Structure 1
């Protein structure tokens, strides 16, 4: 198979590293624009870790541009509101209606199963677009052209006319571009999916957020039978908070013990008790320093990055996946238009200008999302008495409104 890939890439393929949300969104966008590409995925099969993610208004605009928005609407509940509850008092700190109009139109949010969306994107691509078990380990410059030589873990080498890094937070492409290493936020996250085969989970179609007491959690129904939850916390230095033993049973017990020590409703505890745990049991929450992106080389010649390879962020505004889908549409539009333009002799310059234009569009947006997410997470999770008082008494409304500010964005059409 390596020989087949080499032969095709020698013809001038656009190579996308990573078959996650960003990579498949770019690939589908380019396909809609009539541009051929190949996606290299390091894992042997489609990745389904993480269970689900919040898909906000901005993400649905991107999915509609890609032609798969209605597929997601048909499988997932539309959420009607947000209820923020203080874990220290058990009282509702803020209620917010999600069925309101923003500056750009009505808001829409659903909790979408990751594997359902990845499958929907993949099904729209031509057969053979994704090459699994294809991990890029290093990148070299072709001595005779602007092409990049990609070295794979199995020893194969590929020649790429354009290289797009959608290879996650530990991106080889981002490292080649010289982007700043992601920083550790000092927090961890775990998540689960509670199954109610006969329905009747009893949760309203709302996002329930629990804040304070040193943790931040969320519980939300994805359908009549499934409830997704997440839990983030700052581990203690002595490791007595479950950060050492990360087996499924230990992590579930840690979450339950922590929640029982706060004022958390029995309904939430039941959801955690009956849930399946994520295969990533205690993931560190990392982010790329937002100021570094304002001056970074998001693109360099015929290479660029998107998704977590560009803007890894804490999940406190639930915008990581959403902005990755935005990236996909914007990049496919910029690059697709350049590839379709007349004048083959200027092909190299058009591609470089297209990637530079994409970088200019996404630079500030990426930095803004990272910074806002970090600040919101700090205030919502903290158990410091002063921070808790300011949050519960003065800032609860501001923090809740920030949740709606980031989705009020339109990445445009293809």
Structure 2
């Protein structure tokens, strides 16, 4: 019996990779720490480049049932509540890129991916079976798991920012703390102003910003409040009392302030990154956050994992030797991922400007035509998966 290709990690990237490989006739065994396929967190923005991959896997119409399509992104001065600029989304994005921009609950996206994987005969799911260790052996990979070892032809690490495959197998870089924390919460949509029910909002403050958008079929408003913090990258994701977030965002004007007050408990996520350096070694490859975790200020972390999955599957389908396929995959992806990571860092810096720099930013945003703001995203949203 041929040795399987093992995917470590049953999140968005790992499930998408398994499905992309299956659609090209390649069998995989997916191992996941958790006994159920689920996702921590609330909302996620699915941009046209990511949707193009999901649609190519036959999941577009299924996801549409869970999606909310914002009409625009509204950029607001946090301390005054003044609208600085509006970037059109909705029909404008679909017409420009051929695919939609939508927001969805992470649990719904994982549910769609998991159902597709469970129905796919070329995917074997081994849940509640974490990777213990692995090492390259006899042209393949010896994968030690909780329940039984696996003699694999290749190993794909889709196991997130704290990847065991990266640190134990490839001896790669450790995550680097960004100096920022994202507080996440959801509140009933009844707390939202009318425009918030139809648009994504980004409130730009001094060393802080707030993003919100509707999810769960318009029943909830997803909140992400980002600020500087003294926490370390090793701090775990943890509940945070509403009072702490209210204190950190005390200078935000209404209605943003009222949204923050409406959430009793937040979850604090220290934001860390992984340098996009060594992604592969022989028959071992990384994808998504395991390879190149980035700050989330372009909403492209999951999208890059989804793109990775599509390119990796295409290379493995056309190059029979796994090490060569993995090397070709990394060579194709590295430049784009680094460019998106730079853009994400830059956006975060722009969002958090203070003093005269903030005044200049607000002036430029107010004077820039909406269509030009959207056009700046062409190079990201216009990407398409291999045929």
- Give the TM interval when normalised to the shorter protein: 0.7 to 0.9
User: Secondary structure, in 3 states, of the residue corresponding to 1:129?
Assistant: strand
User: Secondary structure, in 3 states, of the residue corresponding to 2:62?
Assistant: helix
Q: Does 1:254 pair with 2:244? A: yes
What residue in structure 1 maps to residue 364 of structure 2? 394
Aligned pairs (5 A) from 1:170-189: 170-175=162-167, 176-189=169-182
Q: RMSD of the TM alignment (CA)?
A: 2.9
What residue in structure 2 maps to residue 286 of structure 1? 272
Structure 2 portions without partners, runs of 5+: none
What residue in structure 1 maps to residue 341 of structure 2? 370
Kept in 2: contact 1:194–1:272 (CA 8 A): no
How far residue 309 of structure 1 moved from its aligned partner, in angstroms, is: 0.6
Kept in 2: contact 1:102–1:408 (CA 8 A): no
Q: Does 1:407 pair with 2:380? A: yes
Aligned pairs (5 A) from 1:267-286: 268-275=256-263, 277=265, 281-286=267-272
C-alpha separation in 2, matches of 1:26 and 1:91: 43
What residue in structure 1 maps to residue 205 of structure 2? 212
Aligned pairs (5 A) from 1:104-183: 105-106=97-98, 108-125=100-117, 126=120, 129-142=124-137, 145-152=138-145, 154=146, 156-175=148-167, 176-183=169-176
User: Secondary structure, in 3 states, of the residue corresponding to 2:25?
Assistant: coil
User: Secondary structure, in 3 states, of the residue corresponding to 1:367?
Assistant: helix
Kept in 2: contact 1:26–1:328 (CA 8 A): yes
Q: Does 1:35 pair with 2:35? A: no
Q: Which of 39, 42, 51 is the aligned partner of 1:51?
A: 42
What residue in structure 2 maps to residue 343 of structure 1? none
C-alpha separation in 2, matches of 1:204 and 1:247: 26
What residue in structure 2 maps to residue 5 of structure 1? none
Q: Which of 307, 312, 321 is the aligned partner of 2:293?
A: 312
Give the total of aligned pairs.
375
What residue in structure 2 maps to residue 297 of structure 1? 278
What residue in structure 2 maps to residue 337 of structure 1? 318
Aligned pairs (5 A) from 1:355-366: 355-366=326-337
Kept in 1: contact 2:10–2:30 (CA 8 A): yes
C-alpha separation in 2, matches of 1:332 and 1:297: 19
TM-score w.r.t. length of structure 1? 0.82
How far residue 107 of structure 1 moved from its aligned partner, in angstroms, is: 5.8
How far residue 89 of structure 1 moved from its aligned partner, in angstroms, is: 2.5
User: Secondary structure, in 3 states, of the residue corresponding to 1:264?
Assistant: coil
Give the 3 Å change call, closer, same or farther, for CA 247–173 of structure 1 in structure 2. Answer: closer
How far residue 164 of structure 1 moved from its aligned partner, in angstroms, is: 0.4
How far residue 162 of structure 1 moved from its aligned partner, in angstroms, is: 0.9
C-alpha separation in 2, matches of 1:391 and 1:211: 10
C-alpha separation in 1, matches of 2:68 and 2:93: 19
TM-score w.r.t. length of structure 2? 0.87
C-alpha separation in 2, matches of 1:409 and 1:310: 22
C-alpha separation in 2, matches of 1:393 and 1:358: 42
Kept in 2: contact 1:104–1:410 (CA 8 A): no
Give the 3 Å change call, closer, same or farther, for CA 48–273 of structure 1 in structure 2. Answer: farther
How far residue 379 of structure 1 moved from its aligned partner, in angstroms, is: 1.6
Q: Which of 59, 67, 72 is the aligned partner of 1:68?
A: 59
How far residue 35 of structure 1 moved from its aligned partner, in angstroms, is: 1.4
C-alpha separation in 2, matches of 1:221 and 1:21: 21
List per-residue Cα deviations over 1:333-365 (Å, max 9, x = no partner). Answer: 211333xxxxxxxx5xx2222212111111111
How far residue 221 of structure 1 moved from its aligned partner, in angstroms, is: 1.1
Q: Which of 222, 228, 234 is the aligned partner of 2:222?
A: 228
User: Secondary structure, in 3 states, of the residue corresponding to 1:316?
Assistant: coil
Kept in 1: contact 2:51–2:99 (CA 8 A): no
